């Protein structure tokens, strides 16, 4: 059987390559892809060849092909159907049919539509951020950056009893979406001060500076962005020490410390899929793009928007 996968072959250049797919071995599953999601922040860095050499090992997706910087087959949000008809989520690049270890094929809940299930990896990241942030009831919380991860994180934190969550973004069009997810909205200049918890997810130096400026005394700042090869200038002078601020990093490659003794990666991903049951999260999905069009479309898909869903030859399941 031949499979077809999207490869990045040079900065800003992708192509679909054919590869022979052997029969599955014991312990493997063959998965026919129904949809895959583009994780814009990380995939934009990969597509542009901006993964720093020091992070090649850390940035490797579980089932990627090739090697950084190029050519590389990268991605981690595939929803597909196994030979026995089960729908599964797999951390796999954009490919129409593939083999994966059975342990990495996480069942998709029956009631979860396939396109929304493509948010699974983003929700897993947001869940890990929430675990790292350790929010408390009644806290004033600021989430800076209304991309997909920022929106999902804000939605999770807004479910904490009596929490007041404000989502900050430079795009005023995100305001109705914030309201839909149970959050307040503010432009950067209007972001409230004296916050108990700040999550930074804008991947910008300006956003990180704003996080430090709006954090209250002994507040926690969770840095959820990844800057790739960039080195933002961070104002750790000024009031950083006087306000005894705590700057924490969150990265999905490891289960958050508080939950690591009791949750595996697979259990965390399964929980993330369960959390996607809310139909309000469909607002995070952009119109679909056919897999065959991906090489031409990828530069525009990575330039903006929310979660871009790639569809394949098989009609996606509605549930």
Handedness of CA 10, 14, 16, 20 (dihedral sign): positive
In angstroms, the CA 288 to CA 295 distance is 14
pLDDT band at 239 (very low <50, low <70, confident <90, very high): confident
Q: Which residue has the tokens 């903006």?
A: 304
Looking at the chain, the whole-number percentage of residues with pLDDT higher than 90 is 89
pLDDT at 314: 55
Structure tokens belonging to residue 156: 């999770």
3-state secondary structure of 261: coil
The CB-side HSE value for 70 (13 A sphere, CA atoms) comes to 15
DSSP assignment of 33-83 equals EEEEEE-HHHHHHHHHT---GGGHHHH--TT-EE-SSSSEE----EEEEET
Where would I find the H helices in the chain? 40-48, 56-59, 114-117, 120-133, 148-157, 175-180, 205-214, 265-275, 294-301
Structure tokens belonging to residue 8: 């990045």
Structure tokens belonging to residue 297: 């479309």
Convert the pLDDT of each residue in 148-158 to its tens digit: 999 999 999 99
pLDDT at 304: 85
14-21, long-range: CB < 8 A, 24+ apart: 14/47, 14/294, 14/295, 14/298, 15/295, 16/291, 16/292, 16/294, 16/295, 17/73, 21/97, 21/98, 21/99
Handedness of CA 200, 206, 208, 212 (dihedral sign): negative
pLDDT at 316: 37
The answer to whether residue 141 scores a pLDDT higher than 80 is yes
Q: What values do phi and psi take at 258, rounded to 5? A: -65, -25
pLDDT at 317: 35
What number of other Cβ atoms are within 10 A of residue 308's Cβ? 25
pLDDT at 106: 98
| Average of per-residue pLDDT across 119-139 | 98
| Average of per-residue pLDDT across 186-197 | 98
Domains and CATH numbers, the chain: 2-118+285-311 (3.90.180.10), 124-249 (3.40.50.720)
- Specify the pTM: 0.95
Convert the pLDDT of each residue in 271-317 to its tens digit: 999 999 999 999 999 999 999 999 999 999 999 899 999 999 754 33
Phi-psi region of 57 (alpha: psi -120 to 50; beta: other; left: phi over 0): alpha
pLDDT at 315: 40
| DSSP percent split of the chain into helix, strand, coil, nearest 5 | 30, 30, 40
In angstroms, the CA 147 to CA 160 distance is 21
Convert the pLDDT of each residue in 51-108 to its tens digit: 999 989 988 999 999 999 999 999 999 999 999 999 999 999 999 999 999 999 999 9
Convert the pLDDT of each residue in 10-34 to its tens digit: 999 999 999 999 999 999 999 999 9
Closest listed residue to residue 89, CA positions, set 71, 108, 76? 108
Closest listed residue to residue 263, CA positions, set 131, 121, 79? 131
């Amino acid at each position: 059987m031949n499979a077809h996968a999207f490869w990045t072959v040079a900065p800003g250049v992708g192509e679909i390559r054919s590869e022979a797919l052997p029969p599955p071995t014991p312990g493997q599953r063959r998965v026919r892809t129904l949809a895959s999601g583009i994780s814009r922040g990380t995939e934009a860095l990969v597509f542009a060849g901006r993964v720093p050499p020091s992070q090649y090992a850390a940035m490797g997706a579980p089932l990627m092909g090739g090697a950084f910087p190029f050519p590389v087959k990268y991605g981690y949000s595939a929803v597909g159907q196994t030979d026995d008809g089960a729908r599964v989520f797999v951390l796999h690049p954009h490919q129409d049919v593939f083999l994966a270890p059975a342990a990495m094929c996480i069942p998709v809940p029956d009631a979860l539509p396939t396109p929304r299930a493509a948010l699974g990896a983003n929700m897993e990241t947001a869940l890990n951020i929430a675990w790292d942030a350790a929010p408390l009831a009644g806290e004033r919380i600021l989430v800076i950056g209304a991309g997909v991860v920022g929106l999902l994180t804000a939605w999770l934190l807004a479910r904490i009893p009596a929490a007041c969550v404000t989502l900050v973004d430079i795009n005023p069009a995100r305001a109705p979406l914030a309201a839909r997810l149970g959050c307040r909205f503010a432009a950067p200049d209007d972001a409230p001060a004296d916050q108990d918890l700040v999550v930074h997810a804008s991947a910008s130096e300006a956003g990180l500076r704003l996080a430090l400026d709006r954090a209250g005394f002994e507040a926690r700042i969770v840095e959820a962005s990844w800057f790739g090869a960039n080195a933002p200038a961070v104002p750790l002078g000024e009031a950083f020490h006087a306000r005894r601020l705590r700057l924490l990093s969150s990265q999905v490659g490891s289960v958050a410390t508080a939950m690591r003794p009791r949750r595996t990666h697979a259990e965390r991903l399964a929980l993330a899929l369960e959390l996607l049951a809310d139909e309000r999260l469909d607002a995070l999905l952009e119109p679909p793009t056919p897999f065959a069009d991906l090489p031409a479309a990828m530069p525009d898909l990575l330039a903006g928007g929310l979660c871009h869903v790639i569809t394949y030859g098989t009609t996606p399941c509605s549930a």
